[in-house]
Structure 1
Amino acid sequence: MPKDLVPELMARAAEELEREFGLLPDFEPARASDTAGDVMGAVLQETAQRLGDNYPYFHPMYAGQMLKPPHPVARAAYALAMSINPNNHARDGGRASSAMEIEAVAEIAGMFGWSEYLGHLTSGGTMANLEALWVAGQVAADKRVVGSEQAHYTHHRISGVLKLEYGSVAADARGRMRLDALEDELRKGDVGTVVVTLGSTAIGAVDPLPEILVLRDRHGFRVHVDAAYGGYFKLIEDALDEPAGRAFAAIGQADSIVIDPHKHGLQPYGCGCVLFRDPGVGRFYKHDSPYTYFTSKELHLGEISLECSRAGAAAVALWTTQRLLPLKPGGEFARGLAAGRRAAVELDRRLRSDGRIEALTAGGPELDIVVWKMKAATAELATALGQSIFSACAERNLHLALVQLPQFWFGPEHPSSALEGYVTCLRSVLMKPEHEAWLHRIWTELSAVCTEVENG
């Protein structure tokens, strides 16, 4: 979308919103001083200067962490909603935005094949996962929660907050939960919930969900899918390698799902979403607060959420984005995901053809995250080389990330003593559709930096 078009479209929408309230009596807000505009302008100029002290997250040459700019229509819709500042805790506080949230969440649930469910937006993935594990603790009281050692660290922390015992399950050389290690935990008879990660933070690893569902039939536990990062890849499951594709095909069989629209969903922070397959879990949320809004007899979102005040603007931005870019296979939104996936596969191919670099032994990226380490005699030397390349790339305006990974991921699947421990690796998240077109530039800069560092 051309940059100069956004202000014009925003101005038209703002005029339309003003007309919506045209029947109200005239109202003049408190008059600002004559110098207020000058002062405000100066403060905003200072704000812009301060914001310049950031990495260029919006640019294709930023290929480091899981950071993706919101779509222009999401930014515009968010700003439009902020002129009202709705609160989606209750329909009184956000009548239109609550309805928009319900509709937007229904489209996300439909992406997973759910038409009956309980779900809502949250302030982010951490809160969404907390709600999922809180419900799990209500359903399976005094039972343990287990997840892969590559699951997000907050699951352990959340379990502690909820007074639930948490167990870590070993991962294989592709960062996926080992089924034999999971079965060892299940045989103990005290596991109530298994957290299955579809898109780990470190490398985008996809746990073997279909096989875990078979174990659920045998051992009787809840399956919570943390798809905060990877959930939208459901739309392009046929473009993924077979194990990952099978996992996303089975996601609708989970008991709960978390997805973050503020990652691949083109939304501003914070916008997470939690979904429960059984709408009956809403009974755990019931309350009889005397100060909740009661002007509507319809169920309001505050009655199915642990959070109270929530930004209605986040729901408006998500609804608007999904109206423009529906969540359907083959659509424009899905094509953007596929472009990032192709860029990651191609970067991995180029890395594997470079004799100075070691890619993951067990295979390439499952989603759109690529990791590699520099070849060196020891982990310490490989770490030092990686850190040097990270810094030198940044000087060329190519921004990567660093991640510590098990050494045996770059060697035999069962590590020898020489492959124990961790090594600092380079990591690239190619989640912007533009990364595919910019891959040649990214590779040219990276290769040049490797040569510079190699030559001292």
Structure 2
Amino acid sequence: MDHQRMAANLGDAEAIPSASQIAASYFPGLGSQNETWMRAEIQRLLDHWFDWRRDLFPQDRRIAAAAPPADPVARHLITERLDELARALTAETPTHTPRYIGHMKAEVSLPALFGWLAAMLHNPNNTSREASRVGAVIESEAIAMLAQLLGYDPSKAEGHFTSGGTVANFEAVWRARYRLDHWLSLGLHLSEKTGWPLDVFACAHMGWGRFGELRREHGLDDQTLRRCSAAAGNPTDVYRRISRAAGRDYLGPVLLVAGNKHYSWLKAANVFGLGEEALWSIALDGEGRLDVADLDRLIKRARGDGRPVLMAVAVAGTTETCEIDPVHTVHDLLERWEREQGLHIWRHVDAAYGGFLAGIVGGPDEATLSPGSATALGALGRADSLTIDPHKLGYVPYACGAFLTRDRARYAVSGFDAPYLDRSELGPDKWSSTLEGSRSAAGAAAIWLTGKALGFGPEGLGALLAQSVRSAREFAGAVMTAHDDVRVLTPIDANIVCFSLGRQGEPLSSANRRTGALFDAIHASPDLSVSKTTLGEGYRRLIDRHAEGFSALLDEQRLVLIRCVFMNPYLSQPEARSRLFNEFGRMVRLLADATH
């Protein structure tokens, strides 16, 4: 890594920094310890930017000199309004402090901030290389860094940055639909041409190899297949033709997503016209993770119903409790379907939150993860596509998500026409293969500089994230000893801890009410910030297991939890953890008694 080589050059005996050293060196500092250096670096960025603007076309200086002077009234107005904005923002949620353990946000790292600012000054638009000569190259290099982190071959992987995980998940649906539509279009054409009954499920999962063979054998071109495409033509008409060819009503594809899914998947079913009924929820096991046996059952059900599986989605780091699904076992199952029956089902992993935890795997801190979680994170690279959010555990500014595929074939989408952008001499552009048109290069630059300066592996960001997992488990132990009624939700897969209140034999409805009252009391405090989540029917087995821990009367099927996210970099310092955990424990002891 770059910092290792730098340390060697400086004669530093300890080339691999600890988590606390990373927090001290790569972040502004809890007490703004890096203020002087940070101011100097930002000033250098501004100096470089102004020098570039002034020196780029010296022949234009005469025009600039002839411009009217700046209006002092306008300057004064801008200054006044800027002061007003700055004062207003002092009331913003202080997510930089370890006292904030509410949601998946924390301090932004210095490399990310510097990279973001440097790109924003130039304001490149990564829609094309004409609009972003350097930004587009930085994006490609940053995607390669993320690909390596996630287990893809960076020389083959494709991807781009998005505004966040929701759009990245949409990108996956778009590509899975593109692939499924191609295969099913070919099957419909051959069925209508030959009169053979259409096996919808088999055709929709035939694979590119079989697709290519049939296309060459029958001399089919794109225009012919477009006439059988629900995406390129009239979907109502194509569905009617599929129904006639199959001899049964065709109800469209289904989307199989783990029951611990993010809300973006429901949005995707709506936006892509699948309908909410097409979103089939995969059952969760007693620990809140995807039940692979139920995934297999749902695939068989879809096959029996003649409904293709658009994609199967596992989650690496759920938004509620950070469960990490058994990604490796999901891959084993779907690869077996492919190997034994020739059925190719798109595999997507929503690693928006947990993807960066892969940087722990293979290093000295891997034991901070459970063996199952480490194996699952190590299997991310077997997916067809992945979502990851750098603005979460990548510590870069909002808004920055990323979508990646294993190779160029999986990245393919429908073609579009924009003559002012479609210029082959500029090289490969992203505009036609991204749902968003204009895209800032700032997020890519933030990741690029983070990767170059710190790195994402076990000796870089991975070391900081490993400490965040240890901090979460240390907190879980501390809060359990704070009061006899505290019930921590287990297992703790990473750096989110959820807990509830519950007396022995207490009805769950009463425990939920008391937990909610405790949250309200903590939330009212100006000193500490937490969040709350409620697990519902999809988590039934996990709720039952948690309730068994205090022999609760199951008079309702929901579980109210106080949710604490431990991603703040300064929690790597023992003093910060000790102060926060002791203060939190005192508050819980006081307030839990008051909920009786």
Q: From 333, 337, 349, give the equivalent of 1:215.
A: 333
1:68 aligns with 2:106: yes
Query: How big is the shift at 1:381?
Result: 2.9
Q: Which amino acid in 1 is paired with 2:353?
A: Y
Shift of residue 321, structure 1, vs aligned partner: 2.1
Counting only pairs closer than 5 Å after superposition, residues 361-400 of structure 1 correspond to structure 2 as 363-376=490-503, 377-394=506-523, 395-400=525-530
8 Å contact kept, 2:316–2:323: yes
Q: Do 1:197 and 1:225's aligned partners in 2 also have CA atoms closer than 8 Å?
A: yes
Query: Structure 1 residues 145, 155: CA separation in 2 closer, same or farther (over 3 Å shift)?
Result: same
- Residues 223-265 of structure 1: CA distance to partner in whole angstroms, max 9, x if unpaired? 1000000001111132310111110111111110110111111
Q: Give the superposition deviation at 1:449.
A: 1.7
Contact kept? 1:75, 1:268, Cα under 8 Å: yes
Name the aligned partner's letter for residue 343 of structure 1: S
Partner of 1:340 in structure 2?
468
User: Do structure 1's residue 3 and structure 2's residue 57 form an aligned pair?
Assistant: no
Per-residue CA deviations over 1:97-141 (Å, capped at 9, x if unaligned) read 111111111110111232212211111111111001111112224
Instruction: Using structure 2 for the length normalisation, give the TM-score.
Output: 0.72
Determine the C-alpha separation between the residues in 2 that align with 1:176 and 1:30.
Answer: 65
Distance 1:97 1:50, change over 3 A: same
- The aligned amino acid for 1:47 is L
Question: CA–CA distance in 1 between the matches of 2:322 and 2:68?
Answer: 52
1:439 aligns with 2:577: yes
Q: Is the 8 A contact 1:337 1:431 kept in 2?
A: yes
Task: Give the deviation of 1:398 after TM superposition.
Answer: 1.0
Closer/same/farther in 2, CA of residues 126 and 31 from structure 1, 3 Å limit = farther
Deviation for aligned residue 1:442 = 2.2
**SS at the partner of 1:262?**
coil
Quick one: distance in 1 between partners of 2:545 and 2:82? 48
| Distance (whole Å) between structure 1 residues aligned to residue 254 and residue 515 of structure 2 | 38
1:295 CA drift (Å): 7.7
Residue type at the aligned position of 2:296: E
Following the alignment from structure 1 to structure 2, what is the Cα–Cα distance between the partners of residues 171 and 419? 21
Report the Cα distance in structure 1 between the residues aligned to 2:527 and 2:502, rounded to whole angstroms. Answer: 24
Say whether residues 1:175 and 2:313 are aligned partners.
no
Tell me what 2:210 maps to.
none
What's the TM-score, normalizing by structure 1? 0.93
Contact 1:119 1:274 in 2 (8 A): yes
Tell me whether 1:104 sits opposite 2:142 in the alignment: yes
Structure 1 segment 185-264 matched on structure 2, within 5 A: 185-188=298-301, 189=303, 190-219=308-337, 220=343, 221-237=345-361, 238=366, 239-264=368-393
Instruction: State the 1:278 CA deviation.
Output: 2.8
Pair 1:401 & 2:544 matched: no
Q: How far is 1:409 from its partner? A: 4.4
> What is the distance in 1 between the residues matched to 2:69 and 2:390?
39
Structure 1 unaligned blocks of 5 or more: none
1:128-181 Cα deviation digits (max 9, x unpaired): 110011111122244321111111121122122112321111212322011222
Q: Which amino acid aligns with 1:119?
A: G
Q: In the alignment, is the contact (CA less than 8 A) between 1:392 and 1:449 conserved in 2?
A: no
- Partner of residue 547, structure 2: 411
Q: Answer whether contact 1:342 1:436 (CA < 8 A) is retained.
A: no
- SS class of match (1:4): helix
Q: Is the 8 A contact 2:507 2:553 kept in 1?
A: no
Per-residue deviation, 1:337: 0.7
- 26-35 or 311-320, larger mean C-alpha shift: 26-35
Displacement after TM superposition at 1:317 (Å): 2.1
Amino acid at match of 2:56: L
1:163 aligns with 2:273: yes
Q: Would you say the 8 A contact 1:356–1:375 is kept in 2?
A: yes
Distance 1:420 1:187 in 2: 32
Contact 1:92 1:293 in 2 (8 A): no
Please state if 1:448 is matched with 2:586.
yes
The answer to whether the Cα contact below 8 Å between 2:507 and 2:554 also exists between their aligned partners in 1 is no
Q: Distance in 2 between matches of 1:5 and 1:387?
A: 44
C-alpha distance in 1, partners of 2:92/2:271?
A: 32
User: What pairs up with 1:123-138 in 2 under 5 angstroms?
Assistant: 123-138=163-178
Contact 1:403 1:426 in 2 (8 A): yes
Cα contact 2:478–2:585 (8 A) shared by 1: no
Residue 420 of structure 1 deviates from its aligned partner by 4.5
3-state SS of 1:383 partner? helix
Structure 1 contact 171–177 (Cα < 8 Å) conserved:
yes
Distance 2:545 2:176 in 1: 32
1:33 and 2:71 equivalent? Answer: yes
Letter in 2 for 1:125: G
Q: How many pairs does the alignment contain?
A: 452
Query: Greater CA radius of gyration, 1 or 2?
Result: 2
Query: What amino acid is aligned across from residue 429 of structure 1 in structure 2?
Result: V
Query: Could you say what secondary structure the match of 1:187 adopts?
Result: helix
Q: Post-superposition shift, 1:425?
A: 1.0
Instruction: Give the secondary-structure state (helix, strand or coil) at the position aligned to 2:497.
Output: strand
TM-superposed deviation, 1:282:
4.1
Please list every run of 5 or more consecutive structure 2 residues that lacks an aligned counterpart in the other structure. 1-27, 29-33, 182-251, 338-342, 537-542
Runs of 4+ in 1 over 6 A off after TM superposition: none
Q: How far off its partner does 1:417 sit?
A: 7.5
Q: Cα offset for 1:283?
A: 3.6
Once the two structures are superposed, the pairs formed by residues 50-65 of structure 1 within 5 Å of their partners are 50-65=88-103
1:91–1:98 CA contact under 8 A, matched in 2:
yes
CA 1:390 to 1:54, structure 2 compared with 1: closer, same or farther past 3 Å?
farther
**Cα pair distance change 1:259/1:62, threshold 3 Å:** same
Superposed CA deviations along residues 431-456 of structure 1, whole A, max 9, x for unmatched, are: 12222432222222222222222443
Q: What is the alpha-carbon distance in structure 2 between the residues aligned to residue 242 and residue 72 of structure 1? A: 32
More displaced stretch, 167-176 vs 366-375: 167-176
Asked whether 1:321 is paired with 2:444, we answer no
- Contact kept in structure 2, 1:364 and 1:370, CA below 8 Å: no
Q: What is the identity, as a one-letter code, of the residue corresponding to 2:579? A: R
CA distance in structure 1 between the partners assigned to 2:90 and 2:409 by the alignment: 48
1:144 aligned to which of 254, 257, 281: 254
Letter in structure 2 aligned against 1:369? I
Contact 1:408 1:420 in 2 (8 A): no
Which structure has the highest helix share of the two?
A: 2
Kept after mapping to 1: 8 A contact 2:113/2:446: yes
Distance, in Å, in 2 between the alignment partners of 1:297 and 1:94 is: 11
Could you say which residue in structure 2 is the equivalent of 1:12? Answer: 44
Aligned 8 A contact 1:86 1:93 in 2 = yes
Match of 1:89 among 120, 124, 127: 127
